[in-house]
Structure 1
Amino acid sequence: MSLIEYPAIASNPRSRVRVQGENVTFCCEAFGNPAISYYEWMKDGALLDESKYPEGFNLTLTNVTTSDSGQYKCRANSPVGAVYSSPALLTVKANHSEFCEDAYEEKKISLPSDCVQDDGTTLYEVGGCAEKTCRGTSSENGLCGPSKTFCCLPSSQEERTVQCDDYTLQVLVTTGCSCGQCSSGDITIQGQVNGLNTGIALRIGTVYVNGSSVGRTTYTGLFSFTVPKGTRSVAITLEDTIFNTLLTTTKLITLDESTQGRLYQKIALMEAAPPITISSDVENTISMGNNSDMPAVVEVVIPPDSFIDSSGNRYTGIVKASVNLFDPRDIRSISVAPGSFEFTDEEGMVQNLQTFGVIVIDLIDESGNKLNVAGNVTIKVDAGLVETENPADVKLWGLNDVTGLWEEVGAMVMDRATRKKRELRNFIVGSVSISAFTAINIDYKFGVLRMLFCFISCR
C-alpha cells in the first residue's frame, strides 16, 4: 500500500502587472498521492468560471481591463484533500506611465555632524523610489512569470551642494521615477544552527530544502542557500549526520513577494536525549515528559520483533533508542519543535494546531547503524491532562518535511489501564507508523479542547 500524500503546492502563481488590452497567465502546480484530480481558480475569494482555465492549472485572462485587478489564487483538489496556493496580485493600469507616477517618496540621509541644516539637524532630503513593480516596455518572456522583472527606479537625479562648516559636499538627489529592469531576484537565506541548551554548533550537518539536499553546514554551524524571488515558503530540514548529538528538525520559513536580498535565520535544535538500551524481541514501553518532577505525558509502545534495518530486513538484537519529547509544559522545548503547528484542512485552508507534545525517536543498532520500526507503534496520552468528552478530537499528525506542515496520520480513542500502586488511569490511545516521518505530533485543531496545564499562556 502506497503512502497517502495530502495535496501540497509545488509552484505558486506569481504577481503580474499589465497595461489594458494585454493578456496574462497565472500558473499553479501541486502534487500528492493520489494525484491532483482538478484545479479551481478564485479572484478576491470568488470562484471563476472554468472556461478561463480549461487546462486547470493555468488561468489565462485576455484583453484585461482595470477591473481585472485583484488577488488570484488556485485550489488543487485530490480525493484525500485540497490545498490553496499563495495569492498573486494582478495590477492593471491604463498606460505604462501610471505604474510609477506615484512612486517618488521622501528619503533622508545623515550628514556629518558639522553639516547642520536650516532645521537644526544633519538630515538631508535626497528622495527615492518606492519598491513597486511596473510594466516594462520590453515584452515578457515566460508564460508563468517574467524572466525579467521591472520596478520603479530613479529616472532623473541631480547633484546638489551642501555647505558644512569649512567645506562643501556634493549630494545626489532623486527627482523622478520611472520603470526599469530590477536587479537579480534571487534571495539568499543564511544563518547558523546551534544546540538549544549547550550552544554546540551543528557541525558538517546536512541541509535539506523542501526535501532535497542542498549542502552542509560549516564546522561552526553556518549555512547558506538561494531561492528564487517570489518564493513564499521554505521547509528547511537540518540533520546532524555525523555526530548525532542534535535532533533532526524541519523548520518552516515564510517569505512574501517583497522579500529580497539576504535573510538571516538563527536556528536552535534540541539536543538528542542519551540513548536507552532495549531488546528487539520484547514489547518496549517508553515514557516521555517526566522531567523536572512533572508526570509523564506520553507513552510509546513498540511491539516485539518489529525493528528493521535501512534495507528493510528484520533486525534482532540490542537497540539503542534516543527518545525525545518536545514538551508543551516547557516553553524552551516547544519553541524549537519541528514544523509550524499548522495543517491544511479538507477545504485547502491552513489552520492552527495545539499540541500535547512532539515525539522524535532515533533508533540505532550496536554498531551505530540506523534502524526503523515496521508496522505501527501505540501512543498513549494521559487523559487526565486533556479536557474533552470526545477523545476523537485528539489526532496523531506526521510532519511533511517538504512543506513543513503537519498531516493527520492516525485517530485516538479512550482506553482504561491499571497502573502501578493500583492506580486506575485513563489514556487516549492511538497507533501510527513512524517509519515515514521524522516527527509525530499529538495534537488537536485549535480551539477544540484544552490541556489542564499551561504551556504558553492560560486563559
Structure 2
Amino acid sequence: MRQVTEWTSWFNIDHPGGNGDFERLEAIRFYYRERVCARPASIEARTTEWVKADETGEVVHYSPNKGFWCINKEQPEGRICSNYHIRFQCPIEANWTDWGRWSECSVTCGNGHILRRRSCIRTPERRTCVGRTVEVQKCGRAPCTVCQHVCAVGHVNEECNGCICDQHVLLGTVHSADGVPISRSRIATEDQPHMILTMSDESGAFKIPGVCANSNARVLIEGAKFVPSLFRAVQNGTESSVVKAVLERAGQYHNGTLLDAKNEETLLLKELKYWQGGEYQCKVTNGFGSIKSVPATLTVLAKGQSNCNSEPLNHLIKLPGNCFQKATNSFYYNVGKCPNSKCAGDLNFDLRCKDSTSYCCAVKQMKLAEIMCQGYTLPVKVVASCGCKKCLEPKVLIRGRAVAADNGEPLRFGKIFVGNERVGLTGYKGTFTIQVPHETERLVVQFIDRMNKFVDTVKVFPFDRKSGAMYFEVKLLRKSKPIEVDSTKGITIPLGEMEGEDTVGKLEIAPNSFHRSNGESYSGKVKASVTFLDPRNITLASTASSDLNFVDEEGDILPLRTYGMFSADFREELSNEILEASSVTIYLDTASVKMPEHVEKMRLWSLNPSTGFWEEESLFHVEKRKRNKREERTFLIGNMEIRERRLFNLDVPEARRCYVKVRAYMSEKFLPGEQLEGIVVTLINLEPLPGYTANPRAWGRFDSVITGPNGACLPAFCDAARPDAYTAYVTAALGPEELEAAASSPKMNPNIIGVSQPFLGKLDYRRTDHDDEQLKKTAFKINLAKPNANNIDETNGPIYAYQNVRDCEDAPVSANHFRFYKVEKDKYEYNVVPFEENDLTSWTGDYLSWWPNPQEFRACYIKVKVNGPLEVMVRSRNSGNTHPETMGQLYGIRDVRSVRDMINHNISAACLEFKCGGMLFDQSSVDRTLVMVVPQGNCRRTGINNLLQEYLLRHPPLAVNNDTAAFSMLAPVDPLGHNYGIYTVTDQNPRLAKEIAIGRCFDGTSDGFSREMKVDLGNALTFSCQEKHVTRQSLFQRIQNSPADALMEIGAEMRRQAQIRPAQSRIVAYPSGQRSRRARIVNRNIRRSGFPRQ
C-alpha cells in the first residue's frame, strides 16, 4: 500500500554569507517545531530564483534526516553558494514515538508505581494515534518505617515530608506589575506543582489553610497570559515582587544561522577568524513566546591592524558664489573628513564585552589653507590626518510639545513615563525634554494627563545618536464627554460616530459588571467615557499611540493594520475613583472591513505602555444581527475585561509589505551633495474608497524614520495585484519646520520628482497642492504598488519588496526615490573649520570652530529690518577680536535674504545668524566676536535698537561704526532677548537651537514661534535700501547707437578730468517748435551725460 504524503511550506533560515548556506533540519525544528514531522520521507531544495539544486552546478548536500547544506569552499573558483530554500515531504499519518524510559518508583517505601510516556507525531494535526500515551506498572519497595519527621509546630502530613498547622492560614494576593489584581490564578506549592490548592478571587486574593508560619513555603502562581512564578511566604507581612520569566531555551545566531547549542547564556568566541565577523543575535524562548535581541556587529581585524586609515576621506564644502575653483570646475572644495568608526581596544588579561573607554577614528591634525576668490582669499581648515581618539558621545535629548489635536491646548504639567519610570512633567506650554538612556534602542514614552482631559498617549520616538537632539510635536486626543450610567443596568456605547457615516461597532457592558481596583463590586452611578480614534478621520492619524507593531511567537516584530482604537475610562460619580469592568462585549461591523481577508484575521489588542508593543487580548467570532426589520448586519464579536488604563485596538496582522525610499535635500535643486540627515519622515498608510483612488477612506498605520547619509526607507503596506489597493501620505519635518515635497504640477517631471517613467505614472504621485494651489506643499500621496521583479522599470526603486530592504538602504542616489527639500531662499553658511551640523561626531576642537562646545550649542541671531521695495541679501562677517589666539581671524560667514512683509511689500526683515561671544573650546578666556552686518545693495543704516546700543556702550570695547552702509558690534556675552533684537537659544543640537532661534526671531518674541515674518517686532537694526534705476546706457551701447555723440561725450569727460574749461557755447534763440532735429538730439544727450550746462 502506497503511503500518502504532503509537502511542508518552504524554509529559508540561513543566507549564503560566511561559510555558506546551511538549512539544517535541527535548526528548522528550533524555529518551526509544529511544521516539520519527526521522520521526513523526502526533501526538495531550490534557489530563491526557483532553480533546482541539481541544476545550479554547485556542490550541495542534502538528506531528509539532516536537511541541506552548501559550503562556499567547495564551489568552483570565483563562486559562492546561492541562496536556497527547502521543503520536506511528510507522511499524512499519526505515529507514536518510541517509549521513553521508566520513571523512578513513586514511593521510597511500600507499594508504588512506575510509568513511561510516548508522544503522538501527527501530520496534519487532525490525525490521531490509536493507543495510550502512558503505561503504568506496579513497583514495590521495602516496608515503610515509622515516620521520623518531627514538627516544632503542628503535626506531620500524610507524606511525612512537611508539617500542617490547622490554626494557621496563608493569605496572599496576585497582582500584575501595574498593580492590577489578577483573578482565577492557579495556586500550588513548589514541590507539588500539579496539585491546585486554590484559585485567586476577583480581587486577586487567595488563602491556603494549614500552612505553618515557620515553613518558608514557596508558592507557585500561574495566571492566564502570565509566566508561572515562585514566591516565598513571609510571616506577618506582605510580599510584593516583580514577575520574572524563567527562560527555557536560549539560542545565539551568527548572520541568521543558529550556532552550536552548547553555547548557553554567554557566547564566548576564542581565536577569532575573519569569517566569524558579522551580526550576532540572541533569541530566548519560554512557553509563552520568544523575543530577539538587537543585532550586534563584530568586526575582526588582524593583530596590529588598525581600522582607522590616516588618510582622510573626501568631503566637499560649498564655497561662496564668487569663489569658483578652476581646479575642480565647481564651487566646491575638498576639506576631508575622518570616518568616526570605532577603533579596536587593547586586549587585557580579563574577558569583557566592552572596552572601558571607547576610541574612534577622528581628526588627528588639521592644516590651514587659503582659497582664492574674486578679489580676496578665504581661509579654511583642512583635515591633514586621522587617528584613534576618545569617542565623542553626544547626549541625546528628545524635545517637543504635547498639545491637543483639535485646538492646540497644551498638556500642562502632564506626567511623563519612560517604561515604568517617571522621568518628569510637561511645562505650562506643554514643552518637555527627555534624555535618552545610553543603551536604549527603542524609546517608548507615555504621557498621562493629570486633569483627565486627554487620553493617555504612548509614543515611540525615533532618534539618531549622531544628531544629539530631536524635536517632536505630540498630538493628544481629547477624551469624549462622559455619560452617566447605572451600574445595575446594562449599557451600549457606540464606537466611531461620524457625521454621514455608520458606526464601526459598539461596546456592551453587562449589568453589575463594574468593580473597584481591589475587586470589590460597585453599585451606583458611573461616569463612563469611551473615546474612539476613528481611522476614517485622517486628521487624527497623528494622535495614534505607539507604532502599531507586535511581537510574534518567533520573537519577530511585525506590523498591524488598524480599524480603530478606543480608550475606556470609568469613574465613580462621587469620589471620581477609577472603576473596572469585567463582562464587556465588543461588536465590530464587518461592513467597515473593506478587505474581506481581514475579517478572519481580526483580533482585539491592548497596548503595553512599557514596551510600546500591542498584545493580543481576544479573538472574534461572526454573528448576524437585525438592525431593523429589513436590514441585517454582520458583526465580529469578542469578549474582554477593562482592568487597566490601556488603549485597545481592532487590528489585523498584514504580510503585504514594502519599503519606500525617501531623501531630503537642502534646496529644490536636489544636489546629491546637499542631502539632509536627521529629518523625520512619516508615512501614513491609507485605504482608498473603491473606485476613487484620490479619496482615501481611512488610514491603517503609520511609521516614522529618520534620514541618514543615504536617505530613509519607510515600511508600508503594498499590493502586487492592484496598484491602488494601498496608498500612502508622506510628510517630512525638521523639528517644528515642515519640508516641502517635489512639485507634481503643472506637469509631472520625473527629473524633479526623482522617479522615472513609466513607474511614476503607476504610482500616481500627487503633491498636496496638485489640484489646489492654496493648499500646503508639505506632503505627497502615492499608490503603493509592489514592484514587479520581472519588469526592469520597477526594479530600481523607489518602492522595494520587503525582503529587499538591503537594496533600499544601499541604493545609490541615482536610483529612483521621492524627495523633500528645505524652504530656504538664498541662504549660505561658511565655517573656517568645517562641521556637519547633522553629525555631532564631526566636531573638531579648534580655536576657530564656530561651535566651541560639542555638548552645548548656542545659536545667536540678530533681526534686521529693511525699508525698501526689494528683498536684499544681508551678510554677517564674524572674526575673532579679544582672544589672543583668534584676534583678526575669520570664524565664518552667514548670508540670508530678507523676507518681505505679507501686507506691506515695501518692508522686509532678515533673521541673520552671527557667532556668539563667549568661551572658546579651551574654556580659558572669552572672545567678543567682531560681527559686521552688511546689506548687499544701495543701503544705509537708519536706526539701531536703543537698548542694544545702550548695552554695547556699557560693555566696552565699542566697535567702530563709521560706515553708514554697515553695522559692527562686539557680540554680547549675555543672552539678550527680543527687546534688544537679539535671539539666543542653547541646545544639545545645533540645528534645533537654530530652528528655535529663527522661529523666535520671526515672531519677534523671546518665547514664541512663527514661520511668518513679523517685520515690526523685535528688530535690532534698520536699513533703508533703494532700488537703483538704470538712467544711462553703457559706453558700449552709446558707441553702437550714436558714435559721434559718444565721442563728443568722451572728449568732454577728458577735458573735465584735465580741468580744462570748455569754450562757452553759443546760445541761439530758436523759435518754439522750430529747432532742428539734430540740435534736439545733441541737447538731449548732453542732459543725459549729467555734466553741468555751460
Tell me the TM-score normalized by structure 1. Answer: 0.84
Structure 2 residue corresponding to 1:295, chosen from 483, 499, 502: 502
Give the residue type in structure 2 aligned to 1:192.
Answer: R
**Distance in structure 1 (CA, Å) of the matches to 2:493 and 2:407:** 25
**CA pair 127-249 structure 1, distance change in 2 beyond 3 A:** same
Aligned residue in 2 for 1:349 = 556
- How has the CA–CA distance of structure 1 residues 393 and 113 changed in structure 2, closer, same or farther, with 3 Å as cutoff? closer
Going from structure 1 to structure 2, the CA distance change for 1:117 and 1:398 (only over 3 Å counts) comes to same
From 174, 177, 188, the counterpart of 2:386: 177
Aligned match of 2:225: 4
Structure 2 Cα separation of the partners of residues 199 and 443 of structure 1: 29
Q: How far apart are residue 390 of structure 1 and its match?
A: 8.8
Question: 1:128 is paired with a residue of what secondary structure?
Answer: coil
**Cα pair 1:156 1:177 within 8 Å, conserved:** yes
Partner of 2:441: 232
| The 10-residue stretch of structure 1 (310-319 or 208-217) with the greater mean CA deviation from structure 2 | 310-319
Matches within 5 A, 1:112-123: 117-118=325-326, 123=332
The separation in 2 between residues aligned to 1:112 and 1:391, in whole angstroms, is: 61
> In the aligned structure 2, how far is the partner of 1:140 from the partner of 1:176?
32
2:521 aligns to what SS in structure 1? coil
Residue by residue, what CA displacement relative to the aligned partner does 1:314-341 show, whole Å, maximum 9, x if unpaired?
A: 3332222221111122222234211211
Please tell me the residue identity of whatever aligns with 2:650: I
Any idea what SS the aligned residue of 2:535 has? coil
Of 315, 318, 328, which residue of structure 1 is paired with 2:525? 318
The reply to whether residue 46 of structure 1 matches residue 295 of structure 2 is no
1:308 equivalenced with 2:515 (yes/no): yes
Aligned residues: 429
> Which of 467, 489, 493 does residue 282 from structure 1 map onto?
489
2:1092 match: none
Q: Which residue in the other structure is 1:214 paired with?
A: 423
The one-character-per-residue Cα deviations of 1:221-266 (angstroms, maximum 9, x if unpaired) are 111122234522111111112x22221111122457x555112222
Counterpart CA distance in 1 for 2:438 and 2:466 is 7
Change (3 A) 1:158 1:202: same
What is the CA–CA distance in structure 2 between the aligned matches of 1:174 and 1:400, rounded to whole Å? 49
Q: Deviations over 1:322-376 (max 9, x none)?
A: 2111112222223421121111111111111112211111222334624232424
Encode CA deviations 1:379-429: one digit per residue, 9 max, x unaligned.
Answer: 110123335479552211111111111111111111222334553222110
- The residue that corresponds to 2:312 in the other structure is 104
The CA deviation string for residues 272-295 of structure 1, in whole angstroms up to 9 with x for no partner, is 222222222211110011212210
Residue 337 of structure 2 corresponds to residue 136 of structure 1: no
For 1:127 and 1:88, locate their aligned partners in 2 and report how far apart those are by CA, in whole Å. Answer: 30
**Distance in structure 1 (CA, Å) of the matches to 2:467 and 2:303:** 27
Contact 1:136 1:181 in 2 (8 A): no
Asked if the contact 1:287/1:296 (under 8 Å) is kept, the reply is yes
Q: Tell me if structure 1 keeps the 8 A contact 2:623–2:634.
A: yes
Match of 2:571 among 338, 341, 364: 364
Identical columns (%): 30
Question: 1:140–1:147: 8 Å Cα contact kept in structure 2?
Answer: no
Aligned to 2:247: 36
Q: Where in structure 2 are the equivalents of 1:149-228 lying within 5 Å?
A: 149-163=358-372, 168-228=377-437
Residue in structure 2 matched with residue 432 of structure 1 by the alignment: 640
CA distance in 2, matches of 1:96, 1:295: 71
CA–CA distance in structure 2, aligned partners of residues 451 and 114 of structure 1: 51
CA distance in structure 1 between the partners assigned to 2:698 and 2:350 by the alignment? 51
Amino acid at match of 1:201: P
Aligned partner of residue 129 in structure 1, secondary structure = coil
Q: CA deviation at 1:177?
A: 1.4
Greater shift in the superposed pair: 294-303 or 422-431: 422-431
How far the C-alpha of 1:216 sits from its partner, in A, is: 0.7
Structure 1 distance, partners of 2:356, 2:509, is 53
Aligned to 2:456: 248
- Return 5+ residue gaps in structure 1 as ranges: 7-30
Paired with 1:247 and 1:34, the residues of 2 have a C-alpha distance of 31
Distance, in Å, in 2 between the alignment partners of 1:126 and 1:138 is 35
Which string of whole-angstrom CA distances, capped at 9 and with x for unpartnered residues, describes residues 5-55 of structure 1?
58xxxxxxxxxxxxxxxxxxxxxxxx986533222111111001122x33x
CA distance in 2, matches of 1:33, 1:383: 39
The root-mean-square deviation of aligned C-alpha atoms, in Å, is: 3.0
Q: Secondary structure at the match of 1:215?
A: strand
Gaps in structure 2 of 5+ consecutive residues: 1-184, 186-222, 228-241, 657-685, 690-696, 700-723, 727-1094
Q: 1:267 aligns with which of 468, 474, 481?
A: 474
Corresponding residue SS for 1:333? helix
Read off the aligned partner of 1:394 and give its amino acid letter. M
User: Is residue 4–residue 34 contact of structure 1 (8 Å, CA) maintained in 2?
Assistant: no
More helix by share: 2
Structure 1 position 378 matched with structure 2 position 595: no
Instruction: Compare relative contact order (CA 8 Å, sep 6+) and give the higher one, 1 or 2.
Output: 1
Aligned mates of 1:437, 1:451 — CA distance in 2: 29
In structure 1, distance between residues paired with 2:387 and 2:513: 67
